[in-house]
Structure 1
Amino acid sequence: MITRVRSELTRYLRTETVGGTLLLAAAAIALLWVNSPWGDSYVTMTETVLSIGPLHLELTLADWTKDGLLAVFFFVAGLELKRELVVGELADPKRAALPIIAALGGVVTPALIAFTVGHGVPGMDRGWAIPVATDIAFALAVLAMTGSRIPASARVFLLSLAVVDDLVAIILIAVLFTATLSMLWLLAAVACCGAWALAQHRRIRTPLVYVPLALLSWYALHEAGIHPTLAGVALGLLTRVRPDPDEEQAPATRLEHLVQPVSAGLCVPLFALFASGVPLNAEVFGELFTDRLSLAIILGLLLGKTIGIFGISWVAIRLGVAKRPAGLGYRDMFALSVLGAIGFTVSLLVAELALGDIGDGSAEELAKAAVLVTSMAASLAGSALLLRRGRVHQARRDADALEPE
């Protein structure tokens, strides 16, 4: 079982690394496109409405990527979280303690900083949640490219932290962005989730059951007034992760193999393409470091995440509440904490949800620009620290290899 879990973790990291690279490429294309002479065509594309008449769904392409494609991303996150909680790193309370504590520190501290700096700014009653999430794909991609000489425990720590981090962000999305609630549709969504769990219990395997249930639960949550991506998380958490004796793989493992490449290689990059098109000019750059909204996000992400993750981890280890990951020093953990400041997918989503209906949209664009610039700064700073730490670890391994037996 341990060997299977480790091999699944390796495969997951490999896929997310490729997905992170595609995400960066899609974001770069969006930024270049919207700031080019053809920028109007980008806006036209994102605002094109694709409707499904019988279901009364009239969403723009940007909304379809935000509400539809990200549901697939959150489904994979739910599967990974369930696997980690049942048979992975988070199943062992001693191993789970540090990433859980670090994730909570990395949520509370950015939120407090953002709320304090941006208090009174329109939209910050919910916008304080923008800097609370770490982007799994982006952070793992940076770690894979620049931290190959860091012990493998660094990847496990960062992944576990990001999974818990995203769970908290998902809960915040459900609480903060549910304005009106239709109980009838909510009950329909609960019924779909119950049917999914029952089908798992009865060991039903045909997609003819699960695909309709997934679509119905998504539609029911959308009509209920709850962000429909939460359907993905719920169904992921209701999927079995332990294989039966007659099964080579558990359903969660099979679904991850099937869905994760689609999520990392298509859904998340497409969301980045539609969400990252922010006009960057002298005026925007000037406001980035003077406007309280953008400062709240920048300081919340860059300082809040780093201080929150590393500071609470250091305290927990010193107090004996948690153990430091094998092979990692405090400087390694500080470098990983800087990577935790990479807030992309979920941060952009929260920015749209919190600020999309305020004014002429300039607040949303400024918030997205702050997320993009800060994430890039965190990735560069984290990369530099990881490369330095990698050289230190390699030098130690070389020294150990030269010692006589």
Structure 2
Amino acid sequence: MAHKLTLDFLKTEAASGAVLGLAAIAALVVANSPLSEAYFYWLKSEHLFQAGPLQLELSVSEWIKEGLMAVFFLVVGLEIKYEILKGELSDPKKLVTPIVAALGGMLAPAGLYLLVSGVLGGPHDGWPIPLATDIAFALAVFALVGKGLPSSLRVFLLTLAIVDDLGAIALIAVLFSTGVDWMLVGAASLLLLVGSVMSLRRIIAPVWVLGFALVWWLSVKAGLSTSLAAVAFAAIVPVSPRADDKQSPLKEAMHDLHPYVAYLVLPLFAFAKAGVSFAGLSIDQMFAPLVLGVAAGLFIGKQIGVMGAAWLVSALKLGARPSGASWLQIYGVSLLCGVGFTMSLFIGALAFPGAVDSPEQVEVKLGVILGSVLSATLGGIVLSVASNRKRASRASSKPITES
């Protein structure tokens, strides 16, 4: 069952990569068309939500970033909990290499970004941007070129991405939850505590939905990152079936929410955040320190950190390579980890708050797109070569039968 759930997760994420790509292309086209002014006006327009005493007014861009993306982080939190308790991450022996590789894949990009920004005089605040991996895009590229590669390599990539997400969520919570109202945080914590106690009994779906909505609202009003609140809520969702239920609330929530996240939430976020207007864009801005730092962190830092850490763990015999995988294949995966896209754009929006068409946001988008495209392209080429070598090796090893 655990294996089937992981495969279903991979299939959904890989297929959604195509939708994400189309959404990003559509954003670039619209942002550089006669509809550009309407596009940016729509993103900055504010809308009020009110339900009884609860009210909240945010721009469309903020509703997508703080609202819809909270659902994405809820699904990430559910996946993390499942993998830790029931899935691949439940075996400590399988954790060492991808965890250390993921840590290397966070440290190296941050260090390289700071080096580039220090040498070129860029802003230091952007160092968290190249740390995360976009699971959907990375798995989509892997699915396109990875035919014949060992399935352990897919799980290795998924585990890396999950640990990356954990690190990114922790950083978001520490760095971007400013001006926190601790009274409201206490109220949200109390609500989570009540929910964890109630989770011991059978709770119908509408109660879970209402509970998540209240925790989310309290988090926004408190100035706390909604990603942290979403993962905290995922932690109280039961992983085991209750009484006569055939499926656990966690599996049911993952099954119900994941398609919406993969095919609606993430593409909509990509459409809202990937739009870069090239009108009036100077050469200096295209090669600004922020652009080069983010791109270098994703494309160079990620592959050095992931590959270097994986090799070191293997050399020290602290962990092992994914079964049946070659170093060339692992290098291809390390390149795919540099596809930051939605996660990097999300962190960039937090690191440099302001209008979606502000100079800093434009530079963040340029750096993320450049680094992600380079990583996806070279990663796809390397894995394609590795896959062809694998098939050629199998063909040459087959015995020749006499007719």
Shorter-normalised TM range:
over 0.9
Instruction: Find out whether 1:368 has 2:365 as its counterpart.
Output: yes
> Per-residue deviation at 1:10?
0.7
Aligned to 1:34: 31
Q: Secondary structure at the match of 2:48?
A: strand
1:1-400 alignment to 2 at 5 Å? 4-53=1-50, 54-119=53-118, 124-202=123-201, 204-243=202-241, 246-280=244-278, 283-284=281-282, 286-289=284-287, 291-357=288-354, 361-400=358-397
- Could you state the TM-score of these two structures normalised by the residue count of structure 1? 0.94
Q: 1:279-322: CA deviations, max 9, x gaps?
A: 23583555333x21111111111111000000010000110011
Structure 2: gaps of 5 or more residues: none
CA distance in 2, matches of 1:80, 1:195: 22
Letter in 1 for 2:194: A
User: How many residues align structurally?
Assistant: 399
Q: Secondary structure at the match of 2:34?
A: coil
CA distance in 2, matches of 1:268, 1:152: 25
Letter in 2 for 1:152: S
Q: 1:5-43: CA deviations, max 9, x gaps?
A: 110011001111122211111111001110112211211
8 Å Cα contact 2:273/2:356 also seen in 1:
no
Letter in 2 for 1:218: W
Greater CA drift, 35-44 or 168-177: 35-44
8 Å Cα contact 1:284/1:366 also seen in 2:
no
Change (3 A) 1:119 1:198: farther
Identity over the aligned pairs, expressed in percent?
A: 37
8 Å Cα contact 1:71/1:229 also seen in 2:
yes
CA distance in 2, matches of 1:32, 1:84: 38
8 Å Cα contact 1:131/1:300 also seen in 2:
yes
Q: Secondary structure at the match of 2:118?
A: coil
Letter in 1 for 2:216: W
CA distance in 2, matches of 1:286, 1:271: 28
Letter in 1 for 2:314: I
Change (3 A) 1:329 1:216: same
Q: 1:61-107: CA deviations, max 9, x gaps?
A: 11111111111111110011111111111111110111111111111
CA distance in 2, matches of 1:320, 1:281: 53
Greater CA drift, 237-246 or 291-300: 237-246
8 Å Cα contact 1:280/1:369 also seen in 2:
no
- Could you state the TM-score of these two structures normalised by the residue count of structure 2? 0.94
Letter in 2 for 1:80: E
Q: Secondary structure at the match of 2:148?
A: coil
CA distance in 1, matches of 2:400, 2:324: 19
Letter in 2 for 1:375: S
> Per-residue deviation at 1:183?
1.0
Q: Secondary structure at the match of 1:37?
A: coil
Change (3 A) 1:299 1:258: same
8 Å Cα contact 1:178/1:225 also seen in 2:
yes
8 Å Cα contact 2:43/2:356 also seen in 1:
no
Greater CA drift, 356-365 or 299-308: 356-365
CA distance in 2, matches of 1:285, 1:148: 40
CA distance in 1, matches of 2:242, 2:19: 36
CA distance in 2, matches of 1:360, 1:268: 20
8 Å Cα contact 1:123/1:355 also seen in 2:
no
CA distance in 2, matches of 1:151, 1:284: 45
Q: Secondary structure at the match of 1:64?
A: helix
Change (3 A) 1:313 1:269: same
Greater CA drift, 345-354 or 244-253: 244-253
CA distance in 2, matches of 1:122, 1:226: 31
Structure 1: gaps of 5 or more residues: none
> Per-residue deviation at 1:241?
2.1
Q: Secondary structure at the match of 1:323?
A: coil
Q: Secondary structure at the match of 2:199?
A: helix
Change (3 A) 1:21 1:196: farther
> Per-residue deviation at 1:123?
8.2
Greater CA drift, 240-249 or 267-276: 240-249
8 Å Cα contact 2:293/2:367 also seen in 1:
no
CA distance in 2, matches of 1:58, 1:143: 40
Q: 1:251-296: CA deviations, max 9, x gaps?
A: 211111101011111111111111111123583555333x211111
Letter in 2 for 1:240: P
> Per-residue deviation at 1:403?
6.2
Change (3 A) 1:119 1:193: farther
CA distance in 1, matches of 2:282, 2:115: 22
The two structures, once aligned, show a CA RMSD in angstroms of 2.0
CA distance in 2, matches of 1:245, 1:392: 51
> Per-residue deviation at 1:227?
1.6
